[in-house]
A and B are shown apart, each in its own frame.
Chain A
Amino acid sequence: MTAVADHPAARSVRLVALWVRCYTAGLPAEVRAERRDEIASDLWEQAHDLRNVHAGAGGAVSAEIVARGALGVPADLSWRLERSRLARMPGWAINGTLAILGRCERGARWLGRRGLPGITSSVAAVIGLIGLLVIVTAPTNNSGTPVNALLWWGSLLLLAAGAVALGGRVVGSRPRRGAALVIGGSALFGLLLWMTVVAPIAALALGWRSALRVPRGGAGVPDIGPGGGRSGGRGGETDIR
């Protein structure tokens, strides 16, 4: 088999090939080899086709190969399950799992028709929804504060990340909705990072504002009070109006 080591998407090809090796492990040698060879051929064709389409854009090629492989995971698993002789697994469990995988497969096909933008928007929306769901359902004590603060803040982070990512994706087609999501998500990030980011930025902004109040002539240092803040006395305040 010809190697694709020099290809910009070589890592993606190897990743998908590794997944194929994983889910075909333990199958009869002939079945295993046929599946691996067939997908190796497909990956080679896709990598070489994409190289011509996206000349120089290795990232786009890699993302498309990985996304195509990832969307096929439910089908791969159901294919594997149908071939497995899971004697310990009851029939209803196999049928139930296959039914769930079938639904996942249909969802994956729906996503695949929308391409990479659709996939990223959907993933962002799911992340945000998970965050929202955990926040809404998180148990609280009598005073209304969450019992598990780490879980609550983590969920808020998910919600913020989902909102920003989804907003960034849709802002081109729906500017108002996209901007609202980005601003909302950013505000949540601001809330989350209050002590580590917002406070130093606010201090810098106040410091800059104070600096602007220094007379143009550079008469000296503005009158700073003992606490580090601006002196309450009028004499210390030099306005540049």
Chain B
Amino acid sequence: MRRKPGTLLPIEFNILAAGLELRASGTAEFHGYRAAHVIREQEAARMLTSHGTLYKALERLRTQGMLTSRWEDPAIAAEAGRPRRRLYTVTAAGIAAVEAARSASAAQSATRDPSGLQPA
């Protein structure tokens, strides 16, 4: 998919925003399923983002340096009785990209509505 360099796709923005929301609530690292859960709440969607879409976007963000990842310690996963998780962290580049996307969205809204009034 061709797009302007530095711009985020909606799913990428949603993942980064979910990561930042989790960080604000005290969870610095998140796994894919947790991000899908937060995105569903943000979008008021009925279903979780599909595996294909979610993990493809996570990989893209990691390649672009907006996320870093590490695999959880297998001992912790074994103790909890579940498969090990891949944990992601939003980087400074990711935070900058989200802020840029929010600014662009706000500027676009202001252009559409020159009065600067926000709809109720």
Contact = CB atoms under 8 A, between A and B. Distances in A.
Interaction A to B: yes
Interface residues of A, number: 43
Nearest to B43: A113
Interface residues of B, number: 29
User: Do most interface residues of chain A lie in helix, strand or loop, or is the interface mixed?
Assistant: helix
Interface string A68-107: 1111111111110000000000000000001000100100
Given A37-B84, A41-B83, A45-B31, A69 B46 contact: no
Given A41-B31, A75-B52, A113-B43, 12 more contacts: A1-B83, A41-B83, A42-B51, A42-B55, A76-B56, A79-B52, A79-B56, A109-B50, A112-B46, A112-B47, A114-B46, A115-B45
B33 A35 contact: no
Contacts of B81: 2
Interface in B1-57: 1, 11, 31-34, 36-37, 43, 45-56
B50 A38 contact: no
A144 B85 CA distance: 63
Given A37-B86, A42-B32, A116 B53 contact: no
B82 interface: yes
Contacts of A112: 45-50
